[in-house]
A = this chain, B = another copy of it.
């Protein structure tokens, strides 16, 4: 009752949405991914740095290069998902800052001249954007299957470069049969929130 978001939307994005491990054959189109991006690109990041980058693994050739890097438990679902997205952090995001933060273009040099600072910022802020992306996949009526069980160095070498760090890989599609495990428990409010 304290939420103004429509209950149907609450269910779509959080309450009924589930991580999917199997998918139907229905394709995920570029138009859907573009619509997802055009929604979630507005999610806030520090200094508007928006360091998330996405590699869509569409061709059979690319998928064949990806599968050996997946952990055994993730290989079958990544092999059959209609679309697979590698989410990565751009550690050189500061090069775009003059365009993203036009009222303070000096931020590029004042705050982000050190690579280690950029890496920690890109890690945290691309994770925020990964969460927005997962919410966006659900907003498109699709299921996401986010995974961190893969060889990060191998995926970086195969699909990215030294400036881009893998964050997670997300299977995307419509849920198939027995797509999800039973909902796991969550912590109680009082375990998570304290008031001072």
**What is A's interface to B at a CB cutoff of 8 Å?**
1-6, 8-10, 12-15, 17, 19, 29-44, 46, 48, 50, 52-59, 62, 96, 99-103, 123-125, 127-132, 134-135, 138-141, 144, 146, 148, 159, 167, 181, 183-187, 189, 191-196
Contact = CB atoms under 8 A, between A and B. Distances in A.
A139 B100 contact: no
A193 B59 contact: no
B135 A132 contact: yes
Contacts of A34: 2, 189, 193
B10 A139 contact: yes
Contacts of A15: 39, 42
Nearest to A146: B44
B129 A57 contact: no
A164 to B, nearest CB: 10
Contacts of A43: 14, 131, 134-135
Contacts of A46: 146, 148
A41 B188 CA distance: 9
Given A3-B35, A131-B135, 14 more contacts: A2-B29, A2-B36, A5-B9, A9-B9, A10-B139, A14-B42, A17-B42, A37-B193, A42-B186, A52-B192, A56-B196, A59-B196, A103-B181, A123-B127
A50 to B, nearest CB: 6
Contacts of A33: 193
Contacts of A192: 37, 41, 50, 52-54
B193 A56 contact: yes
